[in-house]
Chain A
Amino acid sequence: MVENRPWLAFFTHVVLLIGIAVIALPIWITFVAATHDEIRMTQVPLPLLPGDQFWANLKATLFGRGLSGTETAPVWRMLFNSLVMAMAIALGKIAISLLSAFAIVYFRFPFRMGFFWMIFITLMLPVEVRILPTFEVVAQLGMLNSYAGLTIPLIASATATFMFRQVFLTIPDEMLESARIDGAGPMRFFFDILLPLSRTNIAALFVILFIYGWNQYLWPLLITTDQDMTTIVMSIKQMLEAAEQSPQWNIIMMTALLAMLPPVLVVIFMQKLFVKGLTETEK
């Protein structure tokens, strides 16, 4: 569309710039706050330019005892916990969904469609809905305060199963037949043909699921009481409440920055595959 309406161009740019400011300003404030010392952050006006305490704050946040007056785990430990949880959830979901989609698309067994619909119906039962029974089960199994308890209940995934089913359905039947004539058994076909062909879809799903896992708040809050098992996302909330004195904004904001970092990195590095996986249709 070729248009030459300078006022429209001007106006749309203004709207876009406002939009960017609305999104970017809080992040900028977070960054600025993480570069000043504790005292400066409680004074008015709020600083809008970065200070010189960035490295000091980083060190204090990562390896210190957290906020003064509280007994929290060091932030590197929380980052590590979050990373384990997010990776386990993302990889676990992908592995299980790949296998269940493989079974549903390529094997004929009794109640095949029944199983498919059962998996599909669990879409209506996210963690928040089944939180009490799930907690009970996890507690009975002795999985409180463990990585298993943090991740396993979140791994079963109808969305991913459904998505892989659609991906597999676009792979022509001749591919399977050709592999059968070549003498490939089911698992060989799965690893040699299906996996490589779903590579971009797996990557796209990994991005989504990693962020989903990283952002888990309610579930870790419920099942971890041990400080060593806290995840970073839940700890930010606790930091705001925990301190009896005025909040230590420099530490809190640095923690928030660190919490934002891994999802951003995942998106940046997997962007190409991510877009391909969501848009590519040809197999």
Chain B
Amino acid sequence: MAGIVLDKLKKSYGGTEVLHGVNAEIADGEFVVIVGPSGCGKSTLLRMIAGLESVTEGEIRIGERVVNGLEPAQRDIAMVFQNYALYPHMSVRQNMAYGLKIRGLPKEEIDRRVEEAADILEIRDYLERKPRQLSGGQRQRVAMGRAIVRKPQVFLFDEPLSNLDAKLRVQMRLEIRRLQKRLGVTAVYVTHDQVEAMTLGDRLMVLNGGRSEQFGTPIELYERPQTTFVAGFIGSPAMNFLPATAEGGEVVLENGARLPGGTGAGRVRLGLRPEHLLADDGGPIRLQAILAEQLGASTLVHGTLEGTDSALVAALPGTRAVTEGEVLGFSVAPAQMHLFDGEGRRIG
């Protein structure tokens, strides 16, 4: 068992730098999710930890060992790939045993480990089948089984659920989480899906343009996003951003509405989560509705801040009929107002 330390990690391809110095300390047994939009460098970062990409600058330590120069096989890691990367010509059993066979483990030990993993994952019945005879979810299990039998110090997951249908994804998500807790192995998981990130991770690293924007627990990220990027990325539906001015303990919106709360002075961006807007007929935030999305449990009202062009979304509990052009009033608790400066950094 071991933690992972990333120390000012940089990666360049030719002259282009794609990771600009990422730092992180991942504790032993922790489940860390790296989340970000496509092209943010999250897969590159994971592949660097795996040893599939070289490190341009900085250091990776697994346990106490610097692993920069080590081959993937020497790093004591296991990786689950997006397309599973099972060997198509080998049976499930052979797939799971291949790494152990190369390491030269005795045959009884290999069989024991494979069967143990097969029991955990409930794939014992498929051990003699070829990967192409399995469904997506079963292949996913085999890919995880292949990781488990190696008893690694670190699990690496590269968007392992993105090829599954929505229902199976939720189920496998829980299973991965359960499995990782049970085995107590440090895990790094890459995804672009913020729901997956929020539900799986002990801590999340939000990566944007090769930089770590924030690294913290899901609730920290939700409640106190440090940048507008994190604020907009975490939470669904996404946070509203309104241009505003802060003055004397109040925030003044474009249309002159005044909201109590907030610190700082001058031009700011006000972030409001749709679910934090409370229906209040006399409230200061006036939303002119365009259309409503009925989700059953809640209704999303899309519209603009009255008198402006700024888009505004509010989530109302239950079902509610909304006519176009209708003006709804909302208020918000001061603690749930997020203020950001011109560079997108959090104020206060």
User: Does A pair with B?
Assistant: yes
**Which A residues contact B (CB, under 8 angstroms)?**
172, 174-175, 177-184, 188, 192-193, 196-197, 199, 283
A-B contact pairs, 16 of them (CB 8 A): A174-B81, A174-B82, A174-B83, A177-B50, A177-B85, A178-B81, A178-B85, A178-B87, A180-B71, A181-B51, A181-B99, A182-B99, A183-B103, A193-B87, A196-B89, A283-B88
Q: Is the CB of A183 within 8 A of B102?
A: yes
Cβ–Cβ contact A174 & B73, under 8 A: no
| CB of A273 to closest CB in B, whole Å | 14
Contacts A196-B89, A197-B88, A283-B88 given; indicate if A177 touches B99 (C-beta within 8 A). no
B102 engages A175 (CB within 8 Å): no
Which residues on B are within 8 Å of A, measured CB to CB? Answer: 50-52, 71-73, 77-79, 81-83, 85-89, 98-99, 102-103
Asked if B52 and A180 sit within 8 Å, CB to CB, the answer is: yes
Q: How far is the CA of A250 from the CA of B344 in the complex (A)?
A: 95
- Determine how close the nearest CB of chain A comes to the CB of B130; give it in whole angstroms: 12
User: Is there an interface contact between B98 and A182, defined as CB atoms closer than 8 Å?
Assistant: yes
Among A180, A181, A199, A283: residue with most chain B CB under 10 A: A181
Distance in Å: Cβ of B271 to nearest Cβ of chain A: 39
List the A residue with the shortest CB-CB distance to B75: A181
- Distance in angstroms from B143 CB to nearest chain A CB is 9
A241 to B301 Cα, complex, angstroms:
96
Give the Cβ gap from B263 to chain A, nearest Cβ, in Å.
49
Q: Which residues of A contact B98 (CB under 8 A)?
A: 179, 182, 184, 192
Nearest CB in chain A: distance from B219 CB, A? 34
Extra contacts besides A180-B52, A182-B102, A183-B99 (20): CB < 8 Å: A174-B83, A174-B85, A177-B72, A177-B81, A177-B85, A178-B79, A178-B85, A180-B71, A180-B72, A181-B50, A181-B52, A182-B98, A183-B71, A183-B102, A184-B73, A184-B98, A184-B102, A192-B98, A197-B88, A197-B89
Partner of A175, one of B72, B73, B79, B85: B85
* A174: B residues at CB distance < 8 A: 81-83, 85
Minimum distance in angstroms from A179 CB to a CB of chain B: 8
Contacts of B86 in A (CB 8 A): 178
Asked if A181 meets B77 with Cβ closer than 8 Å, knowing A188-B102, A192-B98, the reply is yes
